[in-house]
Structure 1
Amino acid sequence: MADQNIVIEAVEGKQGRAAFVDLGREFAARVEHSVPQIRSEQLELIDPDKNPFFGHASVQLFLAKRGGKPVGRIAAHIDRLALELPREQGMGTGTGMFGYFDAEDEAVAHALLAQAEEWLREQGMTRVIGPISLSIWEEPGLLVKGHDHSPMIMMGHDPAKYQAMIEGAGYSHAKSLLTYDLDISNPFPRIVQRIVQSGERNERIHVRQVDKSRWAEEIRTVLEILNDAWSTNWGFVPFTEAEIAYAAKKLKPVVRPELNMIAELDGRPVAFMVVLPDLNRVLKKVRGKLFPFGWFHLLRALRKPTGLDMRVPLMGVLKEFQSSRLASQLAFMMISKIRDSATGIHGSQRAEIGWILDDNKGMVAIADAIESSINREYVIYEKQL
């Protein structure tokens, strides 16, 4: 039976967005191992004037209140680029999404989900998937495994109770996204070392660092490979020109050239691997606040991320090579070079790879070959409207 004391309000304007973000921060602060993020960055992600995602999406934010007190939040959104994709890739015609889900209890959760579903129906949607907050490239999925440790940079962290809330509202499993934990303080298995050595003897292959003096060109190369490499993956939505420029601006301060590689075949870029130092450790220390001393710790970590763990959020090989042995060889070569830099220059001991789709056999095989193990699982749910 619905709780008649719950009122759902549409969020409007700058003040409304601030209240939406602040409520999410309050919920996150209650969750063990959660990492407080920078508030201004969170506000920017839901600002239509700043996040280029809004250039191809319609978004409505909602707050739930009980007795005038905020007790939950949700976003309902439609990505018009996702509507153009084949249904077998997870999106497609009639598919809307929900995200930024937080709820005090089951009654609030079901009221929020019902409101998001109603809004999506009014926009002509026949199916909803989520949580995806907001873009598939930001924070997709609900954490269902790995609550016992903090997330790495750009990964979500949800209370365990949300799983039952969402499933109790009639949602079923659509896809799992996995992250893999890797001890990089030890050498890779001999078979991987031999594959790397074989590639290094191949004069056609050249693995190089990203050149930040040509940053705009380099980021475009990376995202063009990504758009091709991931084009048939479940959940894939291509980057637009505006999003490429936005990503270039956002990534530049956190990218270390020695940790990010482009692989070339006969001088042509065919693969890449992006690795980011885990700044969440710094954000946890400063509690997500830049003032008065947060800036100092953050800038110091950006200049020299000594001892930080590393995360591999993105990698890709052009589709034309993905069924060949070359694809895994290039991946192992890039991983090997990055591992040497991470351990030798930065004193890192641990890395996390992902997210990886649970049915991406190629990437799962690579993760298994370097003896990494699943440490977190995120689930994207679906429901017919």
Structure 2
Amino acid sequence: MHGRIQDTGELRIAPVASAAELDRFVRLPMRLNAADPNYIAPLMMERREALTPKTNPFFAHAEVQLWLAVRDGRDVGRISAQIDHLAPSDGGPRAGHFGLIAAEDDPTVFAALFATAEAWLTSRGCVRALGPFNLSINEEVGLLVDGFDTPPMVMMGHDPPYVAAHVEALGYRQIKDVHAYASRLSDDLPPMVRKMVDRGPPAGVRLRMLDMKRYDEEVRLLTDILNDAWSHNWGFTPTTEAETAQLAKSLKMVVDPRLAWYAEIDGEVAGFIVILPNVNEAIRDLKGKLLPFGWAKLLWRLKVQRLKTARVPLMGVRRKFSRMRRGQLLPFLLIDAARAQARALGYQTVELSWILDDNLPMRSILEAAGSSIYKTYRIYEKTLG
């Protein structure tokens, strides 16, 4: 990662070029959001790995630059700019991405950060900027614009209400909204859906849990279905083999095979659902640190105390099956099977996210299954130059 320092009066925009600067970059939102009771500091170890080329395979197909805004020796803001060479072209002018935006409530800071990121993208041939993506569209996406009154679930963002106004004041316009749905497990499925799933799987359809003895193969199956099922979604970028391996490694610590279900049609794996324990619930008071006692607290809360909340980050059905009746039943059967296990394990609330605003088939499935929107994240676009 490299760049040049831009000075704006007392404000200095400096590229992140060292491990110490990366630590400052990661820690900044913790200070900015210290007074927000719903902010949860991410684990420093996880954030360092996500933002380091040696440990995040995203960097193998992307150019990335991080910056800090510094005023009078104090960090007051941060931003990233990135160009993902696997991101699809929609036939329009070349687009780059911005992300990881966090700053004090000061329009001067936001203006300087975005001017620097936009200049970097423009110098590399980009004429549009989209974001926020932290860093990939397959990771955290969007800026929180509704739902500030609850903490974020695992792998979801949380932003102060003032950020959206500053971004929009710089000429960024909404291009997509994505939603997080919430489902209370104490509520049964709506009667029509309950009647349908109680009939059981149709002939040739089989549901099964994830097989930990074949874990790596199971994750490869999952990403293969994901790449197929989501291939026509807006902004879809396929998951690479290296990213699949990284996903397998990162999920293994927290995935519970009782909460990961596959559906087969005539012996072929056709769909899946994964519910992840909401690790944010377990790390809420750790302030990003696992040492000296954080590991013990985390493991105790995950294994002994048990969590009450969870998230569905991944669900999909192969496209060739989604057009037939048996395939159209799979999301409801998978949701019901996973919900039943989650309820038996003591979970109370499950989030299903993120869901594109115009993904009407998936929204219809979730709403028919009794879920409702409780957070909205916005993706912005701006024409550069």
Q: What residue identity is the alignment partner of 1:349?
A: Q
Please name the residue that 1:244 is paired with: 244
What one-letter code is carried by the residue in structure 2 that aligns with 1:156?
Answer: G
Counterpart for residue 65 of structure 1: 70
- Within 5 Å, which residues of 2 pair with 1:120-131? 120-131=121-132
Find the counterpart in structure 2 of residue 289 from structure 1: 289
Going from structure 1 to structure 2, the CA distance change for 1:259 and 1:64 (only over 3 Å counts) comes to same
- The percent identity for this pair of structures is 44
Q: Tell me, which stretches of 5 or more residues in structure 2 are unaligned? A: 1-6
Do 2:205 and 2:326's aligned partners in 1 also have CA atoms closer than 8 Å? no
The question of whether the paired residues in 2 share the 8 Å contact of 1:209 and 1:259 is answered with yes
Stretch of structure 1 that moved more, 288-297 or 310-319: 288-297
- Give the structure 2 partner of residue 164 of structure 1: 165
Q: Give the root-mean-square deviation of aligned CA atoms.
A: 1.6
Task: Name whichever of 335-344 and 114-123 sits farther off.
Answer: 335-344
**Structure 1, residues 1-52: CA drift from partner, whole Å, max 9, x if none?**
x962211111112222122112233223343301111101111111011100
Q: Does 1:11 align with 2:12?
A: no
Which ranges in structure 1 are unaligned for 5 or more consecutive residues? none
Aligned to 2:378: 379
Q: Displacement, 1:293? A: 2.2
Which whole-Å CA distance do the structure 2 matches of 1:301 and 1:269 have between them? 33
Deviates more, 1:222-231 or 1:63-72: 63-72
Deviations 1:243-285 (A, max 9, x none): 0000000001111011110100011001010110111111113
- Write the deviation string for residues 103-149 of structure 1: whole angstroms up to 9, x where unpaired: 11111001100100000000111100011110112111000000001
Within a 5 Å distance, the mapping from 1:197-208 to structure 2 comes to: 197-200=198-201, 202-208=202-208
Quote the Cα distance in structure 2 between the aligned partners of 1:304 and 1:333.
29
* Contact 2:174–2:381 under 8 Å retained in 1: yes
Cα separation, 1, equivalents of 2:39 and 2:117: 25
SS in 1 for 2:33: helix
Alpha-carbon distance in 1 for matches of 2:121, 2:187: 50
**Alpha-carbon deviation of 1:307?**
4.2
Correspondence for 1:228:
228
* 2:4 paired residue number: none
Task: State whether residues 34 and 150 of structure 1, in contact with CA within 8 Å, keep that contact through their aligned partners in structure 2.
Answer: yes
> Is 2:36 aligned against 1:31?
yes
Distance (whole Å) between structure 1 residues aligned to residue 213 and residue 116 of structure 2? 48
- Describe the shift of the 1:321–1:305 C-alpha distance in structure 2 as closer, same or farther (beyond 3 A): farther
In the TM superposition, residue 93 of structure 1 has moved relative to its aligned partner by 5.4
Give how far 1:53 is off. 0.4
Which residue type is aligned with residue 144 of structure 2? L
| TM-score after normalising by structure 2 | 0.94
Aligned twin of 1:369: 368
Contact 1:180/1:372, CA 8 A, preserved across alignment: yes
Structure 1 residue aligned with 2:274: 274
Choose 132-141 or 375-384, whichever is displaced more.
Answer: 132-141
- Contact 2:262–2:271 at 8 Å: present in 1 too? yes
SS at 2:183 equivalent = strand
1:98 alignment partner, SS class: strand
Matched-pair contact (CA < 8 Å) for 2:98–2:131: yes
CA distance in 2, matches of 1:305, 1:247: 26
CA-CA distance at 1:304 after TM superposition? 5.3
Q: Secondary structure at the match of 1:298?
A: helix
Within the alignment, does 1:97 sit opposite 2:136 as a pair? Answer: no
Secondary structure of 2:358's counterpart equals: coil
Output the CA distance in 2 between the equivalents of 1:55 and 1:162. 30
Alpha-carbon displacement from aligned partner over 1:280-317 (angstroms, at most 9, x marks no partner): 11111333321232211211333357342121111001
Distance 1:287 1:230, change over 3 A: same
Q: Which moved more, 1:308-317 or 1:21-30?
A: 21-30
Shift of 1:342: 0.8
Q: Deviations over 1:199-254 (max 9, x none)?
A: 42x23000100011100000000000000000110121101111000000000111
Tell me if the contact between 1:174 and 1:381 (Cα under 8 Å) persists in the aligned partners. Answer: yes
Q: TM-score, normalised by structure 1?
A: 0.94
Shift, 1:347, TM fit: 1.2
SS in 1 for 2:120: helix
CA distance in 2, matches of 1:93, 1:217: 38
Find the aligned partners of 2:319 and 2:283 in 1 and give their Cα distance.
37
Verify: 1:79 aligned to 2:84, yes or no. Answer: yes
Please say if 1:179 is aligned against 2:184.
no
Q: Is the 8 A contact 2:321 2:328 kept in 1?
A: no
CA distance in 2, matches of 1:357, 1:3: 37
